[in-house]
Chain A
Amino acid sequence: METSTSRRKLFNQLMKILGLLGLGLSLVILLTLIFDLIIRGGSRIDFNFLTSFPSRRPSEAGLLSAWVGTLFVMLITAVMTILVGVSAAIYLEEYAKPGPMSRLIELNILNLSAMPSILYGLLALGIFVHQFRLGASLLTAGLTLSLLVLPIVIVSSREALRALPPNLKEASFALGATRFQTLIYYQLPSSLSGIMTGVILALSRAIGETAPLITIGALTYIAFLPKSIMDPFTVLPIQLFNWLSRPQPAFHVNAAAAGVILLLLTLSLNLLAIYIRIRVRKSVKW
């Protein structure tokens, strides 16, 4: 090298500082946006806000139907993804023979994880809403979101199953247990935390999805709580979008408040997943 060592070292320091600046700046910008949201919307949140229905008067409008709707939709999504996602992971890890078919399945899962969410909405519109005539109901929402987040659950569950040491499985077979019994009595319970992490991450993704639900027709004025799975509904992100679309600035404050709640829920779910992951890593001593 012809350049002097001190010049190269200086350049090195410069690049390091530049990189740290980039990192710092990005973090600062994102955190500023979040703090701005909290400042604008935080004070609007009180007991009334959480227990009132939407209203034409911004000061009386609240999130009740939205967060209850979110709760129900998440419940349905969780059940569906556990039933289907874990099953798919079990098949891929335990039963499938490596070959073109399983490669195709894995390819599909990978592809689906990078699909725009609005396309799931179109699929749901064509099949659930019109073919199956389920309408813009809680059930449709749950089904749509389950399909959307299925790849997340499948991948996490597979990793959880794969992380189990094979010797315990072989010991189980040696004792005469069938594949299925080994699964039910040993593998699933042991990989539960990994599976749960996957479901929680899936829910944290599903909770903020707006586009597919708008597409199936969920954007209406809902001032009641759903009583059955076929009822119309609304969810937090849609209520946010609704208030944001209104020109009165007081509604924008409501939107900010809804955003704070949504952010809190998403963050909590993510932190929960991280916490479980850390605890598992610490406690597992095979």
Chain B
Amino acid sequence: MAGLDEGAPLFVQIAERLADEIADGALAEGDRVPSTNELAAYYRINPATAAKGISMLTDDGLLEKRRGIGMFVAAGAKARLLAERRKRFAERYVEPLVAEAGRLGINADELIALIRESSYMQKGTGI
């Protein structure tokens, strides 16, 4: 189980890994995604588990099947993934950040300054 250990069901982790690759462009639209057998061999998991992960993304319309050839990243998949992640950004990252800052007595201005500083350090994030 190469690198899969986060406790979520394995097929969900497979789906998330692939979604990450689509979101950051490693898998571009129209690219063929690894087959279930390739995924099974790489992650050392049962092929049925890999197939479940793939079908999660197919159900979401992020992957499409081309008969006899394999599964491919669907048109518009990256934009849709990014839009969905932006929607969840505040809930997943900002709210816990603000809460922890509050516990540590860091006020909003200081927090914003810290974010600017970090953004400056990691140049190119465009904030």
Q: Do A and B come from one complex?
A: no
Which residues on A are within 8 Å of B, measured CB to CB? Answer: none
Which residues on B are within 8 Å of A, measured CB to CB? Answer: none
